[in-house]
Amino acid sequence: MAPLEGSGSLYEVAQSENQYVETASTGSARRGRKFRWWRLVVLGLAGAYFLIPIYAGLKFSFENVAGHFSFQAFRNLPSAPGFTAALSLSLKLALVTVVASTVLMVPTSIYVHVRVPRLRRILDVVTVLPIVIPPIVLIIGVLGAFPLWAKSSPYLLSFMYVILAMPFVYRSLDAGLGAIDLKTLTEASRSLGGNWIKTLWRVILPNIRPALLSATVLTLALVFGEYTMASLDLWQTIPVWIVQFQVSSDGNIQVAASMLGLVGTWILLIIVVSLDRSQSRRSRRKLGAS
């Protein structure tokens, strides 16, 4: 059968189908590749705002009395009067705060996501209150209402720190739970015979591990940086010790302790992120191998 008139040969039709037709460019991609100089200016100003004070603090802490480079301040820090006791108290408070926040917020967040999702809006408002209410108001109310035996224990600060850390812990857990299909995972675990404890331990917690680690790091940073409540409750934690340390004796030690806390928090955050990424890579490799 001969081809239709005006349609050309079969070879010409096939060749025309294989030709690449250029799409009309709107110019948006080209405009997106342009260098935005104001972004570099904003990043430079933000970096200078944060890095210049840190550089000045590190430079001062690594100097001796004569102004030369020395590790003398860091070597004398453990033997400084009151430092070991303040560090031990801060570590104990941090441990109790992390455990209490995890035990309180993890089941609550999971229950709200699974059973009563309508309460998420109410919890969003409630968990913001510790940010709105100043810590000095909270601690004065606690000291006026609690009995003497509770105020005489330093672990009262841990429960106050749980309230202060609640916005950060809940937001982290809420984001982690919202990123997974929690209802399907829970129903699948229950249909296979797992109770709530096994479902929580073997199914939900491994899936929200990054969110749980983020909440832990934020809680530790808050405990090691909080000053107002510890000072008014008359307990000498690391921030209180830094403020009350006699600068006239050795100001380099005071700055060295501040820099050690700041850099230590950064190192802890980097370690947590690295461990989470390495665990995620191992999980992906196991899934790929299977």
Per-residue model confidence as pLDDT tens digits over 116-136: 888 888 888 888 888 888 888
The residue among 173, 159, 188 whose CA lies nearest residue 111 is 173
Q: In the chain, what are the domain boundaries? A: 83-238, 251-281
- For residue 85, the tally of other CB atoms under 10 A from its CB is 12
Question: Tens of pLDDT along 240-249?
Answer: 998 888 765 6
Closest CA to 126 of 148, 104, 153: 104
83-238: in CATH 2.60.120.10: no
In the 8-state DSSP scheme, what is residue 23? Answer: P
Tell me the per-residue pLDDT of 16-52, one tens digit each, with 9 for 90 and over.
555 554 554 455 445 556 667 888 889 999 989 988 9
> 233 — phi, psi (to 5°)?
-85, 0
Task: Look over the chain and give the mean of its residue pLDDT values, rounded to a whole number.
Answer: 82
Q: Is the pTM of this model over 0.85?
A: no
